[in-house]
Amino acid sequence: MPVPHKGAGIRVCNCARLGVALPLVDTLSILSLCTGYGGLDLVVQRSFAKRGIDTTITAYAEFDAHAASVFSYHHPEVPNLGDIKAIDWTDHPADIVTAGYPCQPFSQAGKRLGTDDPRHLWPFIFEAICTIRPRYTILENVSGHRSKGFDTVLGDMAEGGFDARWTSLRASDVGAPHRRERVFIIATPAADTECSRRPRRAPHTWG
C-alpha cells in the first residue's frame, strides 16, 4: 500500500519538529546497523550534540569490507559485529539503534523485488530492535521505500510496541546541488503497551 509523500506534513528532519522528547543524560550509546561509511551516525551524533547530549558508538554491523574499512578508519576502537543475520542481540544493548538498511529492494532504480530480494534485511533489523528495545530507533532509506515495503516497516514497529514518526528530506533541502531524497524514521517505545513495560537492558560498557 503506497504511503503518502509527507509524514504528518513534516519536511524538516529534526527531533524537535518530529516531537521526540530527549532525555537528560550524560551519554547515550549507539549501535549502528548496516552502517556503510557511517553517514547516518554522523548526523545522529551531531543532532544530539546540538541539544547538549553526548553519544558514543559502541558497536556497528557492516558486512561489506570496503564500507567497513572506511568506518573503521574513523572509528578504530569500535568493534564490527559483522553479518546482522548471525548476531545474538541480547549481548548488545544500546540507547540508540541506527540503520540505513539496503535500499535495493525498494529503489526506483532497481527491480523493486521487495521481500523477494536477497538483500531484504528489514526482518533482521526489526529483530534487533525488538530484542534491544532502544530509547531511540533512527532509520534511513530511499524515497521509493514509501511505496514499497514502508507500510510493513511501520506496521512492524507498531506491533513491536514502538511509536514511529517519519519525514522525507532531500539533499537539496540542505544546500546540496542534487535531489537525493531520503526517508527518515524516528521511533521510540510506545507508552502504555505491554511491550513498553518490559525492563530495558542497560547499555553495555565496552573496553
Cite the active site residues: 103
CA dist 76 and 69 (Å) reads: 9
| CA distances to 55, 121, 132, 190 from 160, in Å | 25, 17, 12, 9
Location of C-alpha cell 513498553? 196
Q: Are 121 and 34 in contact (CB under 8 A)?
A: yes
Burial of 120 (0-12, 13-18, 19+ CB in 10 A): middle
